[in-house]
Amino acid sequence: MDIVQDVYNSLEASTKEVQKIVAEQNDLEEKVKAGRYSAETVQHEIKPRIDDLKRKTNALSEQAIADAKTLVSKYRDEIEERYCLDPAELNDDIKLLQAGIPLSVRDVQAILRRNENNRTMTTLALRYAEQHDLKIEHSYTFERELKAARETADALDQVLIYYPNWIGTDRAFTMLDKFFALN
Protein backbone atom coordinates (compact mmCIF):
# COMPACT_ATOMS: atom_id res chain seq x y z
CA MET A 1 0.00 0.00 0.00
CA ASP A 2 1.45 3.34 -1.07
CA ILE A 3 -0.47 5.60 1.26
CA VAL A 4 1.04 8.79 -0.11
CA GLN A 5 -0.07 7.95 -3.65
CA ASP A 6 -3.49 6.81 -2.42
CA VAL A 7 -4.10 10.08 -0.54
CA TYR A 8 -2.81 12.12 -3.47
CA ASN A 9 -5.09 10.27 -5.91
CA SER A 10 -8.07 10.73 -3.60
CA LEU A 11 -7.43 14.45 -3.20
CA GLU A 12 -6.74 14.91 -6.91
CA ALA A 13 -10.04 13.26 -7.90
CA SER A 14 -11.97 15.29 -5.33
CA THR A 15 -10.24 18.49 -6.37
CA LYS A 16 -11.32 17.91 -9.97
CA GLU A 17 -14.93 17.71 -8.83
CA VAL A 18 -14.61 20.80 -6.66
CA GLN A 19 -12.94 22.73 -9.48
CA LYS A 20 -15.85 22.00 -11.85
CA ILE A 21 -18.23 23.65 -9.42
CA VAL A 22 -15.83 26.53 -8.75
CA ALA A 23 -15.55 27.14 -12.51
CA GLU A 24 -19.33 27.33 -12.83
CA GLN A 25 -19.50 29.68 -9.86
CA ASN A 26 -16.74 31.92 -11.29
CA ASP A 27 -18.51 32.00 -14.67
CA LEU A 28 -21.75 33.17 -13.07
CA GLU A 29 -19.92 35.80 -11.00
CA GLU A 30 -18.21 37.13 -14.14
CA LYS A 31 -21.55 37.38 -15.94
CA VAL A 32 -22.99 39.31 -13.00
CA LYS A 33 -19.99 41.69 -13.00
CA ALA A 34 -20.34 42.20 -16.75
CA GLY A 35 -23.90 43.40 -16.24
CA ARG A 36 -25.45 40.79 -18.50
CA TYR A 37 -28.43 40.27 -16.23
CA SER A 38 -31.05 42.53 -14.72
CA ALA A 39 -30.89 43.29 -11.02
CA GLU A 40 -33.99 41.18 -10.48
CA THR A 41 -32.51 38.16 -12.28
CA VAL A 42 -29.27 38.53 -10.34
CA GLN A 43 -31.11 38.79 -7.03
CA HIS A 44 -33.63 35.98 -7.55
CA GLU A 45 -31.81 33.52 -9.81
CA ILE A 46 -28.08 34.07 -10.08
CA LYS A 47 -27.17 34.87 -6.44
CA PRO A 48 -29.13 31.87 -5.09
CA ARG A 49 -27.38 29.66 -7.67
CA ILE A 50 -23.96 31.04 -6.66
CA ASP A 51 -24.79 30.46 -2.98
CA ASP A 52 -25.84 26.90 -3.80
CA LEU A 53 -22.57 26.31 -5.66
CA LYS A 54 -20.60 27.65 -2.69
CA ARG A 55 -22.40 25.22 -0.38
CA LYS A 56 -21.65 22.34 -2.75
CA THR A 57 -18.00 23.40 -2.93
CA ASN A 58 -17.75 23.45 0.87
CA ALA A 59 -19.49 20.10 1.22
CA LEU A 60 -17.31 18.43 -1.41
CA SER A 61 -14.17 19.94 0.09
CA GLU A 62 -15.06 18.69 3.55
CA GLN A 63 -15.86 15.24 2.15
CA ALA A 64 -12.55 15.15 0.26
CA ILE A 65 -10.59 15.87 3.42
CA ALA A 66 -12.67 13.41 5.45
CA ASP A 67 -12.04 10.68 2.87
CA ALA A 68 -8.30 11.37 2.90
CA LYS A 69 -8.25 11.36 6.70
CA THR A 70 -10.01 7.99 6.64
CA LEU A 71 -7.29 6.60 4.36
CA VAL A 72 -4.58 7.86 6.73
CA SER A 73 -6.42 6.50 9.77
CA LYS A 74 -6.75 3.04 8.18
CA TYR A 75 -3.07 3.16 7.27
CA ARG A 76 -2.15 3.97 10.88
CA ASP A 77 -4.28 1.08 12.11
CA GLU A 78 -2.65 -1.29 9.61
CA ILE A 79 0.90 -0.32 10.52
CA GLU A 80 0.21 -0.58 14.23
CA GLU A 81 -1.39 -4.00 13.71
CA ARG A 82 1.54 -5.16 11.58
CA TYR A 83 3.97 -4.33 14.38
CA CYS A 84 2.04 -5.94 17.24
CA LEU A 85 3.48 -8.89 19.09
CA ASP A 86 2.51 -12.23 17.57
CA PRO A 87 2.24 -15.21 19.94
CA ALA A 88 2.96 -17.56 17.03
CA GLU A 89 6.48 -16.10 16.90
CA LEU A 90 7.31 -16.99 20.51
CA ASN A 91 10.06 -19.58 20.90
CA ASP A 92 12.11 -21.09 23.72
CA ASP A 93 14.09 -17.86 24.20
CA ILE A 94 11.02 -16.47 25.97
CA LYS A 95 11.87 -18.82 28.86
CA LEU A 96 15.18 -16.98 29.35
CA LEU A 97 13.45 -13.62 29.38
CA GLN A 98 10.85 -14.80 31.90
CA ALA A 99 13.00 -17.03 34.14
CA GLY A 100 13.76 -14.31 36.66
CA ILE A 101 17.49 -14.85 36.36
CA PRO A 102 19.49 -11.77 35.44
CA LEU A 103 20.67 -11.79 31.84
CA SER A 104 23.81 -10.03 30.71
CA VAL A 105 24.23 -7.83 27.66
CA ARG A 106 25.89 -10.80 25.95
CA ASP A 107 22.90 -13.04 26.75
CA VAL A 108 20.40 -10.55 25.32
CA GLN A 109 22.56 -9.99 22.25
CA ALA A 110 22.63 -13.74 21.66
CA ILE A 111 18.83 -13.84 21.86
CA LEU A 112 18.68 -10.96 19.40
CA ARG A 113 21.05 -12.71 16.95
CA ARG A 114 19.05 -15.93 17.09
CA ASN A 115 15.85 -14.01 16.48
CA GLU A 116 16.97 -11.32 14.05
CA ASN A 117 14.03 -12.01 11.68
CA ASN A 118 11.51 -12.54 14.48
CA ARG A 119 9.88 -9.21 15.29
CA THR A 120 8.09 -10.48 18.41
CA MET A 121 11.13 -12.03 20.08
CA THR A 122 13.36 -9.11 19.10
CA THR A 123 10.87 -6.67 20.60
CA LEU A 124 10.62 -8.68 23.81
CA ALA A 125 14.41 -8.96 24.12
CA LEU A 126 14.81 -5.22 23.60
CA ARG A 127 12.13 -4.53 26.20
CA TYR A 128 13.95 -6.79 28.64
CA ALA A 129 17.19 -4.91 28.00
CA GLU A 130 15.48 -1.55 28.49
CA GLN A 131 13.76 -2.65 31.72
CA HIS A 132 17.06 -3.93 33.12
CA ASP A 133 19.17 -0.96 31.97
CA LEU A 134 21.25 -3.08 29.62
CA LYS A 135 22.91 -1.05 26.87
CA ILE A 136 22.29 -2.90 23.64
CA GLU A 137 23.57 -1.54 20.35
CA HIS A 138 20.87 -2.26 17.85
CA SER A 139 19.25 -0.99 14.72
CA TYR A 140 16.49 -3.21 13.50
CA THR A 141 14.76 -2.74 10.18
CA PHE A 142 11.28 -3.15 11.61
CA GLU A 143 11.85 -0.29 14.06
CA ARG A 144 12.99 1.98 11.22
CA GLU A 145 10.06 0.86 9.08
CA LEU A 146 7.56 1.57 11.84
CA LYS A 147 9.10 4.97 12.55
CA ALA A 148 9.08 5.88 8.85
CA ALA A 149 5.46 4.76 8.48
CA ARG A 150 4.39 6.84 11.47
CA GLU A 151 6.28 9.86 10.11
CA THR A 152 4.57 9.44 6.74
CA ALA A 153 1.15 9.37 8.42
CA ASP A 154 2.05 12.46 10.46
CA ALA A 155 3.17 14.31 7.31
CA LEU A 156 -0.09 13.43 5.58
CA ASP A 157 -2.00 14.74 8.60
CA GLN A 158 -0.20 18.06 8.14
CA VAL A 159 -1.15 18.21 4.47
CA LEU A 160 -4.76 17.59 5.43
CA ILE A 161 -4.64 20.55 7.80
CA TYR A 162 -3.52 22.99 5.11
CA TYR A 163 -4.94 21.69 1.85
CA PRO A 164 -8.57 22.62 2.66
CA ASN A 165 -7.48 26.25 2.31
CA TRP A 166 -6.55 25.60 -1.33
CA ILE A 167 -8.95 23.01 -2.71
CA GLY A 168 -11.50 25.59 -3.86
CA THR A 169 -9.00 28.05 -5.33
CA ASP A 170 -7.49 28.43 -8.78
CA ARG A 171 -4.14 27.22 -7.35
CA ALA A 172 -5.57 23.95 -6.00
CA PHE A 173 -3.63 21.60 -8.27
CA THR A 174 -0.42 23.59 -7.95
CA MET A 175 -0.63 23.47 -4.18
CA LEU A 176 -1.61 19.80 -4.17
CA ASP A 177 1.52 19.02 -6.18
CA LYS A 178 3.62 21.19 -3.84
CA PHE A 179 2.28 19.45 -0.76
CA PHE A 180 3.21 16.12 -2.29
CA ALA A 181 6.53 17.43 -3.63
CA LEU A 182 5.60 16.82 -7.25
CA ASN A 183 6.83 20.15 -8.57
Query: Is residue 166 within 8 Å of 160, Cβ to Cβ?
Result: no
Summarised one tens digit per residue, pLDDT across range 45-57 is 999 999 999 999 9
Summarised one tens digit per residue, pLDDT across range 73-108 is 999 999 988 888 999 999 999 999 999 899 999 999
Q: Is the pTM of this model over 0.85?
A: no
